[in-house]
Structure 1
Amino acid sequence: MFRIPAAERSAATRMGIPQALLDQFPATTEGTALSRSSGYYAPRIGLRAAPELYDALRVIDRRSDRPAPALRRALVENLHNVYAAVAYTVWEHLTDQVRTSGVDEKVLDSLLEAGTRLSADLAGTAPRGWTEEPLPDLAPFSSLASLRVFRELDSQAKLHDELDFLLTHVIDEYPEITSVVVPLYGSFSLGLAARAILPVARPHRKLSVHLIRLGFHDLSTVDYKRTDGTIRSELVGPPEQRERLAADVHGAHVLVVDDNVGYGTTLRAARTLIGQLGGRALTRSVETAWHLYSRDGRHDVADAADLPSLRPNLHHRIQDRLIGHLLRGDADAYADDSAHAVRSTLHQQMRTSYDMALGLGTLAPRQLRAMRAELAHAVLNWREPPVPPAPVTLSGRRAA
């Protein structure tokens, strides 16, 4: 989330961008527009407005002076979110063999490519003039039963910091890695950004990026595990996606990256799946629930994440509260929320996480070395905001 100066909104109006569109998507607080509003978190609104959003983006791009950079980025973020929402729903329909008129894997590929293109733009790696090319028409998907939104690791800065770290401290240090696997649904935006950034950043490497639907919190209704502990691979993606995954993973070293790790069930299941396909997995968490492990001896990350991040995890209750402000159209409440007033820095939080990790006594020396390397890298390179602490329950403990 970021602010859009009033001068940019005025410039957009002068360029002919409809005022109704500017009023609907940026949320206004204290005379300044925020990049996300209820339209961002209600994807059906975004789906209907996608042609107008893309037209507005093109209007800005056809100006040589690029007069509204913050507004332009907000338009791309909103388009990215709605294409990701539609692509994920189509992914689920094709995986679960839900009959949807006009939907096949070619359609899914086009939606994923659109999401990847928008991710490349957000990362600054898209070719100039790419917006002259059309994006897939979303009108045929207006009848989809459900659309989900994505938290994008709370900020594009965090997402790109993570991918930069993976390139320099994981992919470069493990040259045997040839594939990256990202579990859905929560990590979908991370997966699209990985598709856009990783192969381009290391063109000399054979490096494929795959998405799999695998999760045990948001996707708790899906019965992934057989009684013998193996994973039902037919549930992780549509047939052609599974075939590509199996071909690239067999006999390969695979990096599995999950955005938010609590109990570690998803990473353990992903490691099992990669093993079933004949590969070997190296697992990574982008956010880690260190407070959960430090207070609860029943749960640990040591056997789930080979490379656990020291970033604390953003609690889902805080995320829901912040989104709730915007869905109610209360941008002032969003701006004034205590989640934006954390006094410590992310680096201080990561140092605290490292102390908690040492206190667990379960992490191997190689895991601790990797965490120290991450902390050193973060101090030099990461400018992410701190993570709001988990809410405190009536017992005085942090919520799980």
Structure 2
Amino acid sequence: MSAQTLSEKLIGKNHMGLNIASVTIGVGILTFPRTLAKATGAFDGWISVLLSGAMAYGIAWLLAKLASRFPRQTFFEYTSLIATRPVGYVLTFLVCIYTLLFVAFEIRAIGTISKQYLFFNTPVEMITLSFLLVVQYAAAGSRISLLRLNLVFLPIVLFVMAVVLAFTQPLIQMENVRPYFSSSWSTLLKACKDVGISYSGFEIILFYTMLMKRPQDATKSVLIGLLIPVVLYAIIYIFVVAVFSTEVAKNLTYPTIELAKEVEVPGGFFERVESMFFTIWIMTIFNTCAMWLDITLLNLTSMFRRVDKIVWILVLSPVIYFISMLPQTLINFFSFGDWLVYYGIVIVYLLPILLFGIACLRGVKGHE
């Protein structure tokens, strides 16, 4: 029997917060300045970032309250308690579809962006397949070990992002940010929808609260986990607009990478900073994909206890790869991502909030 105690196998609220931040800072960090610049057409888009972050925290708080109400139970188990076992099966299966599609979207993003910036002559199919093999290897291991990787990877990603922003500071042109506060409130609120898509990821609190030492601290974890990307997104948008202007940002496919390309290290001893930035960013996408695949496995094994996790990995991997290769163009790829987020709004936002309301009305609670 392992000498580890139960508490040593669990994670704290700060650690959970870092996991949420890591999942949230995914593909969205590369593209959101473009969508936000299109929606607002002004420097004021950072206000939409803060407003949408506050809205995201409100939703995340409700999801955290639901999960912490059933401390040591899986999503399938507490859904079955609240709304009967058949409903639990249906809802958990729909969640599995969502998480599976998210893995497919993320690995295709890696393939597409890697080919554009790093591996010019490598087929996107091979890049995507290689990344999927690494992700499934990670998901096959210990769940707690996977979550603890964020303690190593996320600080490195944030440090590199800070270096990029520091070196682009001399490129800021004040005429690009004027006039200030020129957008109407209706425009800023409408833009919240576009940037809010980039906050997808905090819903992992529904599934990983059971692994926390103190599940009642889940609401504090989502605050930590969303505060990091909200501040980071606001700063990145300000820098992108200040360096390129909103008109240019509207036409950049990946404005954050383009910002990194503008960096010039004094002395000229290091070129192509965007390659280093992108390579470090892959760390975040790796953990994001691995956690989404792990959540898929967690939900499937909670419903079908006799089927081993490795069997599910072998069955699901070809399906994930096939789905990831369906978008034929970049427009199709972004449309796939938008559709996926809207599907997630219903499945992992609205329905769990409805379940939380039913649990409160019926007085249904779990046990420690």
- TM-score, reference length from structure 2: 0.26
Higher relative contact order (CA 8 A, sep 6+): 2
